[in-house]
Structure 1
């Protein structure tokens, strides 16, 4: 490990699994580069400092009531956290900046969604660098929301779902990153805050790489007057330890089960830490998997089905009886280990950005079934731009599910997709080699952070 540079970074993640994990991975990368790391986190989904003894942790009260904290409405939770965390965050950051017993602070790195961190940083005269945990392609769409609203794309009418989006040639109207049924005005304000707060920052970090999203990164560089640092895939450089969020414990039995399966034979199914589906869709997925005759590993979180706390009780007896060991079901899996296993042939995913990157890095073709926000953009790029997967629409019936699985697993189209997946994997694995794009971008990020010292000293 490099010698400590005597400079401290303060990181502030959004408290959801898909945001915390890349922030912790970034923290590990920058710690490896010689920085001291302090993490401010909310009491909601609080982190366990013992999992990361090389970091310093400070928790702040978030003001969530018990009913608010138990909500499954992500937009509501983010809105409440954004409103209630401003002052606790300001007080904590001010205290850390004034602590002369610790290393001087070079900058604050906060999640793009917590856009209020920019005004707090400005008031305390500390430079803020932004981490966007999603992809660059979806970020360009969020940044264009004011234009898309002006052009009449929102609210999205059912009659226009299949129309192309002229401003984004790869997308259809149905791919625009919205949340159905949410308060659209509140959502647009969040997107605008994310974009404007980022433009006012001192730099933007992406968990992506040039060969994957070169066009989107070029567009962002044209529109955002700040340095851009695509230094991903983070987990390829330095995996994060467990974030210790209150999810189900990883069930390692799935690895033993995979060890008994033929190479490239297993369909791995997981919809991440948040997505919930309707019971009817759950049953169609079950029968589609069973009818495909392919072995499958299925992650079913106890809270992943709308309106119920049941788990496997929803599956018909004949479904379980007819598997004959061909299926294995767990509540949570060690996903990176699963995707790297020789038995995995396809990853059926909700198309969250972390899962998408993890699949790309292992050369595993994807079945995409996106649910909301950037997942729709990610899925379209996987299926139509990078062409390393196929897309299923929400509500797909068992026959379509079976056909899609068999296309990827046993037909010629699947062979072609697998070949493209392996080529993209090679590019992902090269970008962190010496002189690779992410290697060079990380070097640029370190130099940029160190250059911000003079700003801190000038203003204090």
Structure 2
């Protein structure tokens, strides 16, 4: 009598940058014969229903997020407070009814679900969607407090940057994962969440992350218990959980462009520009005279919507034929396209890994947050596969002249292009048969199949 495949419950933090890599991982698990129940909050499932037709064998299940309809779901403190009230009870109920064998959860949700899983006899795996350097730094928080970098509340006692080891991104005491907007109380709550997640990680049998050995060799030496299984990606026919509908015009438009000619500009799902910075970026792209593909979400600028600005309509008219503005796109397909020469990015880890895997040079934006500082350091200082723009004055605005100059510099630098190609080769080798990520992933699958 044949036995059914083991069922795995996958639980991401309800944010695009966390959902996508866990959806990519889920597709890989299904490909290897596992059954997956993918748990997302109700607003996330509503968004996915608008953009996803077929989930390719992944069972989508929703739970409430504990917030009211009018609540701001970008307020991290409010979101995590609501999730902490909702998630444990609903996860327990789902585990009891779906008979899962393993819980594969976002490390950032660990304190909300790992203990529940262990209590019910479910085995636990922790997945970190960002870099090993970032996770390793979080694991070192108790030591950093003891060494006098932070107080017991998570606030800096020393200013400036320090490093855990050579060829690791520097750590800025004022730019930690918990250094979020909202004041001291919100930052302290975020710090407590980090500490609770650290404690919960001890309940996981394995910790995996979306990275690869050659990209972060020093981090994996320092933290050998973190297993790299990336860069993760899904077959282009498989949905990866996009919140916004993709504008597929851009792929045909790219087909009509010359090789290595297009500047691709995208800042993820949460970056917001003030109107002046938005205008400087637009005019900087125009000044280059190069073809560009620019992702402008409906909520990309603060204040009035972009579509209501007469100057932006005029801008689009001026650059018609040379530049294309879309509200969202399939970034993985865009970055894999032969026409793309450079990626102007906010340095989110998913974007960083997608650019790396495709050998695309970066122009890293300023005004970063959370782990984006260390990601920029990897790109500009350690891998040396890109450059960064810098604000021109006290107001913190990156000027159009800076945009143009830096784009020309990064696109014209053959050393950057060659290093980007070499890193892409290393990424492909790591996930190819016999590569480090390939072997780690197979060990992970074997564990889930036990």
What TM-score, normalized by structure 1, do the two folds share? Answer: 0.86
For residues 395 and 216 of structure 1, the distance between their equivalents in structure 2, rounded to whole angstroms, comes to 33
**Structure 1 contact 292–406 (Cα < 8 Å) conserved:** yes
CA separation of 1:181 and 1:383: change in aligned 2, threshold 3 A: farther
1:385 matched to 2:382? The reply is: yes
1:138-287 to structure 2, matched below 5 A, reads 138-149=134-145, 151-152=148-149, 155=155, 160=159, 163-167=160-164, 170-171=169-170, 173=172, 176-177=176-177, 178-182=179-183, 183-221=186-224, 227-235=225-233, 238=235, 241-243=238-240, 245-247=242-244, 249-287=245-283
For residue 240 of structure 1, report the CA deviation from its aligned partner: 7.5
CA separation of 1:156 and 1:113: change in aligned 2, threshold 3 A: same
1:372 matched to 2:374? The reply is: no
For residues 141 and 291 of structure 1, the distance between their equivalents in structure 2, rounded to whole angstroms, comes to 40
Q: Choose from 70, 89, 92 the match for 2:91.
A: 89
Structure 2 unmatched runs, 5+: 391-395
1:354-392 deviations in Å (ceiling 9; x for gaps): 111111111100111252111111111111111111122
For residues 28 and 343 of structure 1, the distance between their equivalents in structure 2, rounded to whole angstroms, comes to 28
For residues 448 and 317 of structure 1, the distance between their equivalents in structure 2, rounded to whole angstroms, comes to 55
CA separation of 1:73 and 1:50: change in aligned 2, threshold 3 A: same
1:98-148 deviations in Å (ceiling 9; x for gaps): xxxxxxx33111111112111111221211101111111111222233444
**Structure 2 contact 171–374 (Cα < 8 Å) conserved:** no
1:297-347 deviations in Å (ceiling 9; x for gaps): 110001111233333626456534442522111111111111111111000
- In the other structure, the counterpart of 1:56 is 59
**Structure 2 contact 259–340 (Cα < 8 Å) conserved:** yes
1:114 matched to 2:109? The reply is: yes
Equivalent position SS for 1:204: strand
**Structure 2 contact 278–301 (Cα < 8 Å) conserved:** yes
CA separation of 1:212 and 1:432: change in aligned 2, threshold 3 A: same
Equivalent position SS for 1:311: helix
For residues 78 and 70 of structure 2, the distance between their equivalents in structure 1, rounded to whole angstroms, comes to 12
For residue 207 of structure 1, report the CA deviation from its aligned partner: 1.1
For residues 192 and 122 of structure 1, the distance between their equivalents in structure 2, rounded to whole angstroms, comes to 19
1:371-450 to structure 2, matched below 5 A, reads 371-393=368-390, 395-410=397-412, 414-450=413-449
For residues 172 and 33 of structure 1, the distance between their equivalents in structure 2, rounded to whole angstroms, comes to 38
For residue 421 of structure 1, report the CA deviation from its aligned partner: 0.2
For residue 448 of structure 1, report the CA deviation from its aligned partner: 2.1
- In the other structure, the counterpart of 1:71 is 73
For residues 385 and 294 of structure 2, the distance between their equivalents in structure 1, rounded to whole angstroms, comes to 21
What TM-score, normalized by structure 2, do the two folds share? Answer: 0.88
1:357 matched to 2:353? The reply is: yes
Structure 1 unmatched runs, 5+: 98-104, 222-226, 452-460
For residues 246 and 353 of structure 2, the distance between their equivalents in structure 1, rounded to whole angstroms, comes to 20
Equivalent position SS for 1:251: coil
CA separation of 1:56 and 1:323: change in aligned 2, threshold 3 A: closer
For residues 23 and 447 of structure 1, the distance between their equivalents in structure 2, rounded to whole angstroms, comes to 18
For residue 50 of structure 1, report the CA deviation from its aligned partner: 5.2
For residues 323 and 363 of structure 2, the distance between their equivalents in structure 1, rounded to whole angstroms, comes to 18
CA separation of 1:441 and 1:4: change in aligned 2, threshold 3 A: farther
Cα root mean square deviation, aligned? 2.5
For residues 51 and 198 of structure 1, the distance between their equivalents in structure 2, rounded to whole angstroms, comes to 33
**Structure 2 contact 24–240 (Cα < 8 Å) conserved:** no
**Structure 2 contact 10–37 (Cα < 8 Å) conserved:** yes
For residues 281 and 348 of structure 1, the distance between their equivalents in structure 2, rounded to whole angstroms, comes to 14
For residues 324 and 63 of structure 1, the distance between their equivalents in structure 2, rounded to whole angstroms, comes to 44
CA separation of 1:446 and 1:317: change in aligned 2, threshold 3 A: closer
Equivalent position SS for 2:43: coil
- In the other structure, the counterpart of 2:44 is 45
CA separation of 1:84 and 1:315: change in aligned 2, threshold 3 A: farther
1:147-169 deviations in Å (ceiling 9; x for gaps): 44552356469x94xx4314355
Q: How many residue pairs are counted as aligned between the two chains?
A: 428
